[in-house]
Structure 1
């Protein structure tokens, strides 16, 4: 690309909230810096209080490339880190990347082009889960299948078009600043919540399968269960905070959880109730047969465990999400003296 064309490209700020990312941070930043985007670019890493070598690795990246710098995120919370990185950056296009996400070649250039062509507020694509261990490969298969995550295009793919939300996102800074950035009370689901506000503001969220970010799944059953419990818990907060935002797809995991738990409990009264957990077990085993093609035997055997961990943890988190979380979120944005929003949360 010639110099004149490069000068016409908008400058890009890549923001990264990181916490305990020593395993993937250097590779993630390398995938950013090796993008073939000819316009100006900066990478701002928001450092949480890590207990591993993340800070040391980040310092090395800063020393190696003048485009990289760091800001502090004392809370370690993702939305606070995102906002800190936004404040610490300056360019008109803001690209969100996580510390364990790997941008594919051409990602930034394609996203910037589509922002302009579609007059979108946010552009994003597919969260392409790819594992390294056999367990992670099983989780990756679950996270990219409709059996595992429903029909969310940013997980399973689909045609380009308007969307409710996308993975990570490439934003116009003016939109983020007008809407106040990420709501820092949302420990999880902050992307969905921000995209909901963008849509309510009249902005277009544009999904395209041309954009893909390689994602590294959680390395253990315990870590995956915590991740999905938190997803469910905070998605319930979103539905209480933004009335009318609930989607029938979100009710499937709670229904599965209730079916399994109630079926097992009521089987003491009559064994016929075992049809509920039994039916669920057959469904995920059958799903593993179809979705596990190409996996090793060890990964295929673990695939039903991945399905169940994701579904049941999400459902449990959704059903047990305390109303106090929604009240806290609402209070953080409520004008002084207003009580109507809190009352709504208490009854939701």
Structure 2
């Protein structure tokens, strides 16, 4: 049974909330797409500023001085869920829209999101994330994000049909739904969106996927940063598995199983090369799994659009393998030892 909701006014005012840390290259375009929303209701954007070292804070202060709709709050802890809670606490309006400094919204994003909240009697609505890149490496990483072979085929990475969802990318929330669920958990450093949406659903709330909502996302621009990001994501997904068990979709277990399987297979191959294990044994069946994985990655690369020549395909292959093995290694670490101090610092260095 759905929990009672506060009725939204005819044209609800909107609070956009954005965690910000070392985003000098991306912050201003992201804020501009918020301020340019084709929505006639009152708007504000609250930037939760972490301790940036690249001039981001100065850019944020300039934007706030230029437009009173831009408001600032300090986030000395730098972690995303803490930033989100601080921004929510500093905001004022009945609809809360989470945005990211690496994202750019289509002009109708807020209007369509609020329309879906009403039409679907939803507590949170999310749409499609379209990754984009500048330069050959970031473009390859973007192709990995957009491919079902990269992030497991979640609805918000493709063109799925509208309908109920387990979680949402970013999100257009009713404020009372966030408050009813208790806000973001500051102890979950990655996967905080999924965890909050789970608690919203457990209070009787409804999460809705609406593909009309479109967001451009600018991913990491180096393989080292991508690996650190995905290792942290995998570790904290494991924390959520330890906490919520079967509430997690099965696809989140696959990268960890992949890392285990390939590691055992390589050990078997070494022992066979050393003559410790015979080549014609049941152990050799593990090689088929590894070869099958490589064939699957090659198929994924072959299906990616916007590739020019061998270099792009090699970078696409490297992207997928980096995503899978970094996520899987982090997941195994998280299962064994918990999240601990694991955190993505790829944008702070």
Matches of 2:329 and 2:322 in 1, distance apart?
A: 10
Structure-2 residue corresponding to 1:215 = 217
The residue that corresponds to 2:294 in the other structure is 281
Q: Is the 8 A contact 2:238 2:338 kept in 1?
A: no
TM-score w.r.t. structure 2 length? 0.88
Residue 10 of structure 2 aligns with which residue? 8
Of 204-213 and 293-302, deviating more is 293-302
Q: What does residue 164 of structure 2 align with?
A: 162
Show the counterpart of 1:307: 320
Change (3 A) 1:322 1:158: closer
Say if 1:147 and 1:30 are closer, same or farther in 2 by CA, change over 3 A.
Answer: same
Consecutive unaligned residues in structure 2, runs of 5 or more: 1-8, 273-278, 342-349
Does 2:32 correspond to 1:30? yes
CA-to-aligned-CA distance 1:4-38 (integer Å, 9 cap, x gap): xxx93100000000000001000000000111110
Counterpart for residue 345 of structure 2: none
- Any conservation in 1 of the 2:37–2:110 contact (CA below 8 Å)? yes
Number of residue pairs aligned between Structure 1 and Structure 2: 321
**What SS does the aligned partner of 2:270 have?**
coil
What does 1:1-348 align with in structure 2 at a 5 Å threshold?
Answer: 8-270=10-272, 272=284, 273-291=286-304, 293-297=305-309, 298-321=311-334, 325=338
- Alpha-carbon contact 1:288-1:300 (below 8 Å) kept: yes
Q: 1:232–1:313: 8 Å Cα contact kept in structure 2?
A: yes
Show the counterpart of 2:344. Answer: none
Counterpart of 2:216 in 1: which secondary structure?
Answer: strand
Q: Shift of residue 265 of structure 1?
A: 1.4
Is 1:238–1:245's contact at 8 Å kept on the other side of the alignment? no
1:183 is paired with a residue whose SS is: coil
Deviations 1:215-240 (A, max 9, x none): 00111111101111111111111111
- Cα deviation for residue 69 of structure 1 reads 1.0
Per-residue deviation at 1:282? Answer: 2.5
After superposition, give the CA deviation of every residue in 1:76-128 in whole Å (9 maximum; x if it has no partner). 00000000000000000000001111111200000011111111000001111
SS at match of 1:128: strand
> In 2, Cα distance between the equivalents of 1:217 and 1:87?
28
* Separation in structure 2 between the aligned mates of residue 254 and residue 320 of structure 1, nearest angstrom: 9
Report the Cα distance in structure 1 between the residues aligned to 2:206 and 2:335, rounded to whole angstroms: 32
What CA deviation, in whole Å up to 9, does each residue of 1:43-69 have, x standing for no partner? 100000111110000011001111001
Q: Which has the higher contact order (CA 8 A, sep 6+)?
A: 2
Distance in 2 (CA, whole Å) between partners of 1:74 and 1:227 is 21
Query: Could you tell me whether the CA contact under 8 Å between 1:124 and 1:211 is conserved in 2?
Result: yes
Structure 1-normalised TM-score? 0.89
Per-residue deviation, 1:275: 3.6
Preserved CA contact (<8 Å) 1:225 1:310: yes
Shift of 1:259: 2.0
State the shift of 1:322 in Å: 5.3
Distance (Å, rounded) in 2 between the aligned partners of 1:148 and 1:236: 18
**Aligned to 2:246, what secondary structure does the other structure show?**
coil
Greater mean deviation of Cα atoms: 268-277 or 61-70 = 268-277
Deviation at 1:157, TM superposition (A): 2.5
For residue 283 of structure 1, report the CA deviation from its aligned partner: 2.1
In the aligned structure 2, how far is the partner of 1:324 from the partner of 1:230? Answer: 13
The alignment yields a C-alpha RMSD, in angstroms, of: 1.7
